[in-house]
Amino acid sequence: MNLPRTSLRILFIAAALASAVPSSLIHAEGIGIEPPYSDFNSPSTLAGQSLAARIWDDLQANKDAVIPATIGAWHWWRIPTGGPGSSGYGSSSLPGTYYYYLMLDPWMKTNHRFIQSIGFHTELRIREENAFRGSNDSVIWPFEMYAWASTSVGVFKVGQIRRKFGLDWDGSFYGNVAYYDGFKLNADIGVSWVRTFWIKPQFSVETHAQFFFREDGITPGLVGADSESTSAFRLQNNAVFRVVPTWWFSPTSSLALGLSGSIGQVKSQDAAFSNHAFSAWGVDLTYTRNRFKAYAEVLQRNGALTPTRYVSGGMSSRITDLIVGMSYVTGPVTWRVAYSAGYDHNPGGRQHMFVPGVTIAITKNIDLYLEYVKWSVTAARASAVTFENGIQTAINWRF
């Protein structure tokens, strides 16, 4: 499959920059890199210790030691079972490869008493054909791009940073209601601080504080989901806080309580609307016991962000999303199921999504996702509309 010339030029330029990094800069393993979807990490792989798997792992290790860059892609096939569209590679609205991605992560130690290390993280995403979302007409866009410094009082970031509001992800490929509402995997322009405090050997508190001056104009949400999917409003001066106290019963068993909050200003870009305040809160709970994990989350935002919500059809002033799910790992396979729902208020509407599936670790750097997705949306005093009812197959590889 061929990439457009523009995409190829960007890949070549990025590869050249990465190869030009001094040898004192090495790959920041786990620092600054936040997976686009999941922190999935199976204890074993389907390929096991085969010759091909060993060669791939050796190449990956040698590359990581020299070049602070990762390339990869998400390939997606869908088979509708009562939902819209037809079978094929991608979908009618997202034909072709879901997206390719390039991550650059140069970093270096400073040997300074206060600042231990500094670095830069960027992730560039590329599609072959139409844009990822209807509100953004570009096929090449940055997901994150920030500088960071690890200090004795925490890690600081500045640039295009992903908002840490609620649980990061549910481990699926297709996602959940909160993702399509713009709550999750959404980056903006600002500054960030994170630190984990260990109060006792069995008790820790992870803390995040972020301030976003403005939006980056790119959203994972559908058209009519949030302020970045419309030209009528802009969210600015947005503060985000998250605290996660965690009780550790053993190194592999824990109970984590997440508390999230956010306030900001919604600036009208149209004389027909007025400026107003924005606020949001979230509560989540995650229980982990060895290979088993269960979680639940409720998120709510107050203040209209779009004049025409894709759920209610109107300028809903309050949105409440929830998700419950669980997963269990057996060898290279993670079995999981999640149910998410969303409720619009003033005017009203609702949506429901059911996603059971499995993730199979073929090698350390190649994962196979198999899922069934049923998603329906119902506006007030209207019949339910099926957004998706089908089987999803996705492959994620990275090198």
* pLDDT per residue as tens digits for the range 25-44: 222 222 232 333 444 455 68
**387 burial via Cβ count (<10 Å: 0-12, 13-18, 19+):** middle
pLDDT class for 294, splitting at 50, 70, 90? very high
Mean pLDDT, the chain, integer? 88
Task: Note the pLDDT tens digit of each residue in 357-378.
Answer: 999 999 888 999 999 999 999 9
- Angle at CA of residue 326, ends 322 and 329, nearest 5°: 150
Residue 314 β-bridge partners? none
**Single-letter amino acid code for the residue at 301:** R
> What's the gap between Cα 302 and its chain centre?
22
Q: Are strands 203-215 and 187-200 parallel, antiparallel or unpaired?
A: antiparallel
pLDDT exceeds cutoff 70 at 60? yes
Q: Check residue 247 and give its pLDDT.
A: 96
**If DSSP codes are grouped into helix, strand and coil, which group holds residue 374?**
strand
Q: Which residues pair with residue 323 across a beta bridge?
A: 297, 340
Q: How confident is the model at residue 111 (pLDDT cuts 50, 70, 90)?
A: confident
Q: In this prediction, what percent of the chain has a pLDDT beyond 90?
A: 74
Distance between CA atoms of residues 353 and 373, nearest Å: 7
% of the chain residues with pLDDT over 70:
89
Which domains does the chain show, CATH number per domain?
5-398 (2.40.160.10)
pLDDT at 41: 56
> Residue 112, Cβ neighbours under 10 Å: how many?
12
Residue-wise pLDDT for 221-272, tens only, equals 999 999 999 999 999 999 999 999 999 999 899 999 999 999 999 999 998 8
User: What is the reported pLDDT for 364?
Assistant: 85
Question: Quick check: 274 pLDDT over 60?
Answer: yes
pLDDT at 54: 76
Greatest Cα pair distance in the chain: 65
Residues 136 and 130 sit within 8 Å (Cβ to Cβ): no
The b/e string for 229-243 (b: 16+ C-beta within 10 A; e otherwise) is: bbebbbbbebebbbe
Query: Rounded to 5 degrees, what angle do the CA atoms 370, 92, 307 make?
Result: 100
- What predicted TM-score, i.e. pTM, was given to this entire model? 0.87
- The pLDDT assigned to 43 comes to 64
* Cβ neighbourhood burial of 31 (10 Å; 0-12, 13-18, 19+): middle
Structure tokens at 283: 């509560």
In the chain, the N- to C-terminal Cα span, in Å, equals: 18
Question: Which two tokens mark 160?
Answer: 């295009």
Q: How many CA atoms lie within 13 A of 157 on its CB side?
A: 29
Residues 6+ apart with CB under 8 A from 8: none
Torsion angles phi and psi, residue 12, rounded to 5 = -65, -45
What is residue 266's predicted lDDT score, i.e. its pLDDT?
Answer: 96
| Span 312-350, pLDDT tens digits | 999 999 999 999 999 999 999 999 999 999 999 999 999
d(C-alpha 80, C-alpha 130), whole Å: 21
Question: Above 50 in pLDDT, residue 51?
Answer: yes
